[in-house]
Structure 1
Amino acid sequence: MKNIKLIVATALFFLSFLSYAQPNAGQSKLKVTGKVIEKSTNLPLEYSTITLKNVNNPNQVFGGITDAKGEFSVDVASGNYNIIIEFISFQPNEINNKSITQNTNLGTILLEDGAKQLNEVVVRAEKTTVEIRLDKKVYNVGNDLMVKGGTVSDILDNIPSVSVDVEGNVSLRGNENVKILIDGRPSNAISVTDALRLIPADAIDKVEVITNPSARYDAEGGGGILNIILKKGKNNGLNGTLIANTGYPENHGISGTLNFKAKEFNLFTTQGYSYRKSPGNSFTNSRYLNDDNSTRDYMYENRENERLNKSYNGSFGFDWFLNETLTWTNIVNYRKSSGNNVDDVFQDYYDGNFVYDYTRNRVNEEDGNSQNIEFSTNFTKKFKKEGHKLTIDASVSSNSDKNIALITDSTNNSANVFTDNTFNDQKQNRNLFQLDYVLPIAKNSQFEAGYRGDFLTNTTDYSVITNGIPLPQFTNILEYKEKVNAFYTQFGTKFNKLSMLYGLRWEDSNIDVNQLVTNDFNNKKYNNFFPSAFFTYELNETSDISLSYSRRIQRPRGRQLNPFNNLSSNVNIFIGNPDLDPAFTNAFDLGFIKKWNKLTFNTSMYFNATSDAFQFVRRPNGDFQDGVPVIISTPINLAKEYRSGFEFTLNYSPYKWWKLNSNFNFFYNETDGDFSYTDIDNNVIFQNFDNKATSWFARITSKVTLPYKVDWQTNMSYNGAQKTAQGKNLGVFAMNLAFSKDVFKEKATVSLNVSDVFNSRKRISETYLPGNVDSYGEFQWRERQITLSFTYRFNVKKNEREKPRNGNGQDDGGDFPG
C-alpha cells in the first residue's frame, strides 16, 4: 500500500512540472528571480504566482510560484515579456514589455490587499473572513477553534445572525423558515437537520448568509437562505490536510482533504469517518386540569437518550480547464451513516393531591441507517469581457433512510407488557438543472437571466404493529412530489455612489401529496412572481447604507405533512398535516456598515409580513391512556405573522493579541389567527392564537493569544425568553471554550474545545391549555462535549488566503459589478 501511495504521489509530482511551459529545445535558458512580500507587513507571500507571457508570441507562457521565503525562480527563453505577479485577494503587480536577454532579478515586489469593491466590503480576521456584499454576507470558515471535531451544525451556531437550537433546527435572525443550500443546491438529504449533523466541519469552506435573497436565488425560505460551500482544492501542486479528533462523550473521527492542481486540471477529494455518541435528556411535568382549571391529577415524564452514530462522508471531483475560458467541473458526493437511539421514558403518575400512584416505563430502541449519493456537473464559460459568463449546472441525487424501532411499555402495578414495532422507510430522489447568464453592460451595469428546474420525489412508508397486530391508524405510505420551474432576470447599475439591483423571479409549482393507503390524493398547483430590489449608497470610503426588498415562499415538507411518523410517547404525539398550504413573505431590510481602524460595525433593521404562516398547536384528541388525555401536536396555517427587529455585529481588535466579535438581535413577533376543532363530545372548540412577543439573542466571541502562542477562544450566547400563543419559551445561556497550539513549525495544530461548559444548552418551555393541561419541560439534545483534535497540513499555509471560487450553483453567481 505504501508503494502504491509513493508511485501515485510521484506521478502527480512530475505531472505538475510537465504542466508548465518550458523553453523550447535549442533556446538558451535564462532565469528570472525575485521576492514577493506583503506591503503592509513586509511578510513573504508564499504561493504567489508569477506569469510571463511573450509579447510577440502569446502562446509562449512561463510561470512559477514563490517558496516559503517569498522567493521565486523561473526559467524562460530570451524575449520581451508582460509579467504579472499575483496573490489571491491581493492587487496584482504588472510589469509590461520587460526585455529579458540575460539572467534577471526583478528585486523585491510589493503586493497590497485588494481595493474595496462596490459590492464587497472585506473584514479580515484570523477567525474568519467576512465579505459583506450587496445581497449577502460570506463567512469564510477559518481558524475557528470552536468547530474542531464538530459538524456543520456547530459551524452554523458560530455564524452571526444564525442560531441552532437543541434539536438542530436552524434559524436566521430568530426565524426558522430558512432554506439550506449545499454548494448552491438544495440538500438532497431527507432530513436536513440530520444531514447537518453528519457533515464534518472540516469539509466546509465558507457559509453564505443571505437574509434577503435577490431574484437570482430560489424563492423558498421566508427567513432567508444559508448556502454552505464545501472545500475544493485551489492551490497548485499536491497539497492537503489531515484531521483526527477524539472526545468525551465518545466522539472520534478522522478526515482529510487532498488536492492536486496542474495547468489543465484540478483534482480534489474529501474523506471522513466519525463515531460519536450524543447522550441527551428531557423531562415534562404536567398538571392536568378540570373544566374549572382545578387540579385533576399529575404526570411527570422523564427521558434519557443515548444516540450512537457512525458515519462516512466522502467526495471526489475534478476541474478540467478545457481552455482559458471554459471549465468543466464534476463532483460525486457520498454519505452513509448507521446508528441507534435508545429513548428510555419514565412516566410517574400522581393523584390530585400529588400522592404517588404508579410508574409507566416506555423504552424506544431505534436502529437506523441512511445513505446519500449525488453527482453534479458544471460548465462555466467566460467571455472576453470581464464578468461576462454563462454557467450550466445539473445534479442528480438519491437518498434513503430506514428506521426500525421496538417500543416496550410496562407499568409497576401490572404484569402486562405491551410492545410496539414501528417501521419508517423513506426514499428521496432529486433532479436539478440550472442555467445562469451574466452580461456586463458598459462600465457600471449588469444584466442577468436564468432558469432553474427542481424535481423532487419523496416516499415515506410508515407502519406500527402492537403486540403483533398492525395499527391502521398509524400505517400509511406518503408520496410527496414537487416540480418547480423557475425563470429569473435582474439588472444592476451604478450612478456615482448609488448602486441598484432590480430582479423578478417567476416560479411554477406543481405539488402532489398522496396518502396511498387511505387513497387520499392532494394536488396543489400555483405560480407566483417574486420581485426583489436592492439599493446601496456609499456614504464615504468606510461606510455604506443599503435598502432591500424581496418576496419569499415557504413550502411545507416532510414531517410537517406526514400524519403518521412518530409514536415515541403514547400521550404526546406529533401528527403532520397533509393539507398545509405554502406561506408567503414580504421582506424588507435596511442596513448600515461603518469601518474604523480597529472596529467594524454592521447593523440592520428588518420587517417581514407572512401570510398563511405555519403554527404548531396542541390539543387533546379525545383518547386517554390510563386516564391521561392524549395531546396531539400538529402544524396549521394561520392568517398572518409579522416579524420585525434589528441586529448589529461588531468586529473589534483592541490589540494584536485580542479579537472580539459580537452579534445582537432583537425581534418582535406578532401572530393573528384563530383555530377551531371538534372535541370528543362533538363540541366546537375555538382557540384564539393572537399573540405578541418580543425576544432577543446575543453572542460574543473572544480570542486571545496567550504566551507561547497558545490561542484561547471563548464563546458565550444567550437566547432570551419568548412568549408563545400557548405558553412561553424561557431564556437559555450557554458557553463554549477552546484552546489551540501550533506545532511542527506551524504545519500542525493541536486543539481542545469544550462545548456547553455549564451543560445549560436546553429548550425550556411552559405550556398552558385552559381546561386541559399546565406543563413545564426541559429538553437537552446533547450534553457537554469535550473534544481534542490534531490537524496536519502539507503544502498548505495555516491562514491561507483563498480566492472565492466560481463554484457550482449559486455560491458566487453574478455578483454586482464594481
Structure 2
Amino acid sequence: MKQINFAVMLVLFLTGFYNYAQQGPPAKNKVKVTGKVFEKVTKQPLEYATISIMAPNDTKVIAGGITNPKGEFEVAVAPGTYDIKVEFISFKSTEIKQKSIQDDTNLGVVNLSEDAAQLNEVVVRAEKSTVEIKLDKKVYNVGQDMMVKGGTVSDVLDNVPSVSVDSEGNVSLRGSDNIRILIDGRPSQAINVAEALRQLPADAIEKVEVITNPSARYDAEGGSGIINIILKKGKNQGFNGTFIASTGLPETYGLSANVNYKTEKLNYFTTAGYNYRTNEGGGLTNTSYYNADGSPKGYLDEDRDTKRIRNGFNARGGVEWTITPTTFWTNAINYQKNTGEDKDLINYNNFDAARAFTGSTYRLNNTDTGSENVEFTSNLIKNFNDKGHKLTADLSVSRNTDNSDGIITASPSFNTTLNDQVQKQVLLQADYVLPLGKGSQFEAGYKGSFGDLNNEYYVTDENYVKDPNKSNTLEYKENINALYAQYGLKVNKFSYLFGLRWEDTNIQVNLLDNSQFNTKKYNNLFPSAFISYEISDQSNLTASYSKRLTRPRGRFMNPALNYSSNINIFQGNPDLDPSLTDKYDVGYIKRWEKVTFSTSAYFENTKDVFSFVRTPNGDNVDGIPVILSRPINLGREQKYGFEFTFNYTPFKWWRLNSNFNLYNVKTTGENTYTDTQNNLVVQNLDNQANTWFARINSKVTLPYKIDWQLNGTYNGEQKTAQGKNLDQFSMNTALSKDILKDKATIAFNISDIFNSRIMRSYTYLQNDTTLESQKSYSEMQFRKRQFNLSFTYRFNKPKSERDKNAQPKNDGGGEGSGDFPG
C-alpha cells in the first residue's frame, strides 16, 4: 500500500509540475486559422492531414499543422495574405490562393477526394520494409513477413535481426539470453515466458522493436537489451478488421480475428484466436565413460522422441476513449488459456567397455499441461501541446497460473510429478515529458512492480508416497520501486541524452516445506548516456553507454528438482545474486536511395554472470552416474562484437535485408563444491570463444503479383566451458497471392525446409577426485519441418491502409519511445 500511495503522490506532483510549466498564451499580433478536413465520399474525418501556409506564389512554408482524430486543425499565423494547401497521402490536394487572414478565421470543411492516378504508386510507397533501421532501435514489421503467417510470436522473434530462438523457445539477443521481453512496453507477466510466446499467434502482433542499449527510461532489467512486442490496435474509422484461418502439417490449425470499430471519440478494438498445434521432435545423447587411466569404462546411448500438443485460446479487448482532443484513456483486458499434452519417450541402451550390448531400459514421460493468464491494463495520456509536453500513467494487474502434472513410467517402476504455479502481479507507472525549448527536453517518471509467485512441486514413487528429497513449495515475492530522470538536448548537429535510474529491489525466496527463508535487498543506480552526430541528412554516428541488471527468476531460483530425466537432473539455486552489466556501443547508420546500412561495435562487461555447471551428484542409475545441472554466479563475462544490418531494394519487385553478428566471449570464474566423499572440488570454468550469426531475407514479387520470400539463418560453432555447441543452418520459404480484389490473401510457407534445425553439442566432464571422465554428444530438435497454409480476409480495410504511416498517440505504451530530442 505504501508503494501505491507513493505512485499516486508522484502523479499528483507531476500534474502540479505541469500546471507550473504551462506555456503562456499565443504571442500577440497572431491570429488563428481553423477548419476541418473530411473525406469527400464517406464524410469521415481525415486524421494527420497536413495544412501548410505560405506566402503568395512562394513554396516556403511559414506555418503549418496536422489534423486531430476529428479532422480538426488550428494554426497560428501573423495577419496577412497567404496561400493555404491541404494534403493527405493518396488524395488530391486542395489549395486556397491568396486568402486574406486579418483576424481569427475558420475555413470550414475542406473535402479531399481520392486520387485514382496515385493509388498504385501509393501502395508501393506506403508499404513498410520488413525491417526498419533507426538510430536507437530496429523495428520489425510483422505484417510484411509471409514466413510467420499462421505461426506464433516465437516464429516472429526468430526472424528479427539480432534475435534468435532456440529449440526450447528461449529467446536471445546478440547471442545472450539476458534480455527483457516487453509487450506493449510492459513486462510479460506469464510465468513461463517461452511457452507463452509459443502460444500467442503472430497475427496479433503489429511490430517488434529491438533496443540493444536502452536509456534510463526503460527498466534496468535485461543485461543485453530489450525486445518490445507491440500488439495490433485498429486505427481506421468505422467498422473494419481481419480474419485469418490456417492449417498445416504436422497437424496444426487455427482461426483468429482482429476487429475494431472507431467513432469520433471511441475506438473499440479486439483480437481473438484459437489454435491447435502439434510439435514433433526428437534427439539423442551418446555418452562414453572412461576410467582414471583413460581406458573405456562403458557406453550409454539415449534415443529421444517427443510430441507436444497445444490447444490455445487468446482474446484481447479494449477501448480507447478520446476524452478531449489532447487526452486519451485506453483500457484493455487480455486473456489466454492453454491446455496441452507432452509425450517424451527415452530409450537407454547400455554397452560395456568393449562396446558389447548389455541391456536396455526406457523412460516415458506423459505430462498434462495447462495455463491461464488474465491481465487488465489501463493507459492514460495527456498531451499538453503538440510539441511533446505530456504525462502518461499506466496500471497493470494480472493473475497467471501454470500447471504440469505427469506420470513417469520406467522399467521396472513409475513416478508421478506435480508442478503447480500461481503468480499475481501489479504494475504502476507514470512518465512526464517536458520540452524546455528548441531542441531540449526533460523526462522523469516512477515505476512500481509488485509480484507474488507460489510454486508447489512434488514427486511420488510407485506407491504414491511423496519423496521429500525431490519435493518442495516455493514462495517467491518481488517488490521493485524505480525512479528515473533524463535530459536531452540538440546543439547544431549533436544530440545528447543523459539519464539516471534508481531501482530498489526486495526479494523473498521461501522454501515452505523445510522452513528455509531467504531475503535479498539491494538498490542500484543505473546511469545512461547517448550522443548522436548528424553527419548529413542521410547518415548519423552514435555512441552510448548504459548500466544494466539481470535478476534471477523462475526455474533459476527454484530448488525443486526437474525430474524429466533420471540421469540428467536440473535444480535451481535460490541463493543467486543479480548480475550487473556495463554496455558500450558505437554505431553508424547511412541511407541511400535503395540501401539503408547500419553497423555497430559493442562491448559488454558483466559481473556475477549466471552460468550452468554440471557435476556428478553421487547417485547411480543402473551403474550410470547421475549428473546435476544448476546455475551459479560464475564470475565475470566480457563480450565484444561487431554487427551490421542492411536493407537493399535493387528493384521495386525485389527486397533484401540481412543481419550479421560476430562476437567474442571471455568468461572467468570457478565453481567450488563438496563431493559425496566430502572432498572439496574446484572446477576452473575459464573459457574464451568466438562465434558468429548471420541471417538473410529475400522478398520477390513474381508475375501475376505472387510474392515469394526466402530466408536463411546460420549460427556458428561456439566453445563452452564444458564442451562446445556445433554450427546450425536452417532455411524457410513462403509464397503469397492477393485475391478477391486485394481483400484477401492466401499464403503457403515451409518452416525448416531441409529439416536441419538441430542443436548439436559436445560435453566433457571430469570427476577431479577420481579422475574418471565422460564425453557426450547430443542432438535435439524441438520441432521438425512444418508446412502451413493460411487465408486472410480483410473487410473495410484494404491492404494499403491510408493511415499505416500515421504516428499513433502512444506507440507501445508503458516504457515510451524515441530517445533523442528533435
TM-score per shorter chain, which class?
Answer: 0.7 to 0.9
Find the counterpart in structure 1 of residue 259 from structure 2: 258
Alpha carbons of structure 1 residues 758 and 479: separation in structure 2 relative to 1, 3 Å: same
| 1:454-493 correspondence to structure 2 within 5 Å | 454-468=449-463, 469-493=465-489
Q: Look up the SS of the partner of 1:142 in the other structure.
A: helix
Find the counterpart in structure 2 of residue 626 from structure 1: 622
1:723 to 709, 719, 722: 719
Give the superposition deviation at 1:563.
1.6
1:563-622 residue CA offsets vs partner (Å, 9 max, x unmatched): 214111100001111111000000000000111111111000000000000000101000
Instruction: Report the TM-score, using the length of structure 1 for normalisation.
Output: 0.87
Find the counterpart in structure 2 of residue 448 from structure 1: 443
Match for 2:140: what amino acid?
Y
1:528 to 524, 527, 531: 524
Gaps of 5+ in 2: 1-34, 53-66, 73-81, 120-124, 767-771
| 1:649-668 correspondence to structure 2 within 5 Å | 649-668=645-664
1:763-811 residue CA offsets vs partner (Å, 9 max, x unmatched): 1110011323100000000111100000001121214324343145335
Q: Does 2:799 align with 1:803?
A: no
Alpha carbons of structure 1 residues 418 and 435: separation in structure 2 relative to 1, 3 Å: same
Find the counterpart in structure 1 of residue 388 from structure 2: 387
Distance in 2 (alpha carbons) for counterparts of 1:396 and 1:439: 28
Find the counterpart in structure 2 of residue 558 from structure 1: 554
Match for 2:248: what amino acid?
G
Q: Look up the SS of the partner of 1:362 in the other structure.
A: strand
1:236-290 residue CA offsets vs partner (Å, 9 max, x unmatched): 1111000000000011000010011111110000000000100110110001122
Note if contact 2:342-2:366 (Cα within 8 Å) is conserved in structure 1: yes
Note if contact 1:52-1:62 (Cα within 8 Å) is conserved in structure 2: no
Q: Look up the SS of the partner of 2:324 in the other structure.
A: coil
Find the counterpart in structure 1 of residue 538 from structure 2: 542
Find the counterpart in structure 2 of residue 511 from structure 1: 507
Note if contact 1:47-1:87 (Cα within 8 Å) is conserved in structure 2: no
Give the superposition deviation at 1:712.
0.8
Note if contact 1:51-1:63 (Cα within 8 Å) is conserved in structure 2: no
1:490-509 residue CA offsets vs partner (Å, 9 max, x unmatched): 00000100000000000000
1:42-98 residue CA offsets vs partner (Å, 9 max, x unmatched): xxx997776999xxxxxx999779xxxxxxxxxxxxxx998854459x999886969
Q: Look up the SS of the partner of 1:197 in the other structure.
A: helix
Note if contact 2:488-2:498 (Cα within 8 Å) is conserved in structure 1: yes
Find the counterpart in structure 1 of residue 370 from structure 2: 369
Q: Look up the SS of the partner of 1:594 in the other structure.
A: strand
Note if contact 2:85-2:93 (Cα within 8 Å) is conserved in structure 1: no
Aligned pairs, number: 745
Alpha carbons of structure 1 residues 104 and 651: separation in structure 2 relative to 1, 3 Å: closer
Distance in 2 (alpha carbons) for counterparts of 1:50 and 1:674: 63
Match for 1:456: what amino acid?
G
Match for 1:678: what amino acid?
T
Note if contact 1:452-1:487 (Cα within 8 Å) is conserved in structure 2: yes
Q: Does 2:673 align with 1:677?
A: yes
Distance in 2 (alpha carbons) for counterparts of 1:542 and 1:31: 35
Note if contact 1:129-1:141 (Cα within 8 Å) is conserved in structure 2: no
Note if contact 1:600-1:651 (Cα within 8 Å) is conserved in structure 2: yes
2:752 to 749, 752, 756: 756
Alpha carbons of structure 1 residues 340 and 47: separation in structure 2 relative to 1, 3 Å: farther
Alpha carbons of structure 1 residues 495 and 631: separation in structure 2 relative to 1, 3 Å: same
Match for 1:142: what amino acid?
G
Give the superposition deviation at 1:459.
1.0
Note if contact 2:127-2:800 (Cα within 8 Å) is conserved in structure 1: no
Find the counterpart in structure 2 of residue 137 from structure 1: 138
Distance in 1 (alpha carbons) for counterparts of 2:819 and 2:297: 63
Q: Does 2:344 align with 1:343?
A: yes
Note if contact 1:571-1:631 (Cα within 8 Å) is conserved in structure 2: yes
Alpha carbons of structure 1 residues 816 and 241: separation in structure 2 relative to 1, 3 Å: same
Find the counterpart in structure 2 of residue 408 from structure 1: 409
Find the counterpart in structure 1 of residue 13 from structure 2: none
1:453-474 residue CA offsets vs partner (Å, 9 max, x unmatched): 0011111100000112211111
Find the counterpart in structure 1 of residue 728 from structure 2: 732
Note if contact 1:49-1:87 (Cα within 8 Å) is conserved in structure 2: no
Give the superposition deviation at 1:477.
0.3
Q: Look up the SS of the partner of 1:146 in the other structure.
A: helix
Give the superposition deviation at 1:127.
4.5
Match for 1:278: what amino acid?
N
Find the counterpart in structure 1 of residue 563 from structure 2: 567
Alpha carbons of structure 1 residues 808 and 208: separation in structure 2 relative to 1, 3 Å: closer
Note if contact 1:52-1:82 (Cα within 8 Å) is conserved in structure 2: yes
Match for 1:598: what amino acid?
K
Q: Look up the SS of the partner of 2:509 in the other structure.
A: strand
Note if contact 1:674-1:687 (Cα within 8 Å) is conserved in structure 2: yes
Instruction: Report the TM-score, using the length of structure 2 for normalisation.
Output: 0.86
Distance in 2 (alpha carbons) for counterparts of 1:146 and 1:46: 36
| 1:66-85 correspondence to structure 2 within 5 Å | 84-85=86-87
Gaps of 5+ in 1: 1-29, 37-44, 54-59, 66-79, 114-122, 411-416
Distance in 2 (alpha carbons) for counterparts of 1:787 and 1:606: 38
Alpha carbons of structure 1 residues 93 and 702: separation in structure 2 relative to 1, 3 Å: farther
1:632-652 residue CA offsets vs partner (Å, 9 max, x unmatched): 010000110001101101111
Find the counterpart in structure 2 of residue 502 from structure 1: 498
Distance in 1 (alpha carbons) for counterparts of 2:282 and 2:133: 39
Match for 1:427: what amino acid?
V
Note if contact 1:81-1:100 (Cα within 8 Å) is conserved in structure 2: no
Note if contact 1:227-1:811 (Cα within 8 Å) is conserved in structure 2: no
Q: Look up the SS of the partner of 1:154 in the other structure.
A: helix
Distance in 2 (alpha carbons) for counterparts of 1:745 and 1:87: 21
Note if contact 2:131-2:657 (Cα within 8 Å) is conserved in structure 1: no
Percent of paired sites with the same residue: 53
Q: Look up the SS of the partner of 1:673 in the other structure.
A: strand
Find the counterpart in structure 2 of residue 215 from structure 1: 216
Q: Does 2:130 align with 1:128?
A: yes
Distance in 1 (alpha carbons) for counterparts of 2:648 and 2:812: 33
Distance in 2 (alpha carbons) for counterparts of 1:61 and 1:728: 57
Give the superposition deviation at 1:106.
7.2
Note if contact 2:379-2:392 (Cα within 8 Å) is conserved in structure 1: yes
| 1:6-155 correspondence to structure 2 within 5 Å | 84-87=86-89, 126-128=128-130, 130=132, 132-133=134-135, 135-155=136-156
Alpha carbons of structure 1 residues 108 and 577: separation in structure 2 relative to 1, 3 Å: closer
Find the counterpart in structure 2 of residue 583 from structure 1: 579
Alpha carbons of structure 1 residues 214 and 334: separation in structure 2 relative to 1, 3 Å: same
Give the superposition deviation at 1:142.
2.5
Q: Look up the SS of the partner of 2:609 in the other structure.
A: strand
Alpha carbons of structure 1 residues 747 and 284: separation in structure 2 relative to 1, 3 Å: same
Q: Look up the SS of the partner of 1:760 in the other structure.
A: coil
Distance in 2 (alpha carbons) for counterparts of 1:353 and 1:670: 39
Distance in 2 (alpha carbons) for counterparts of 1:582 and 1:714: 40
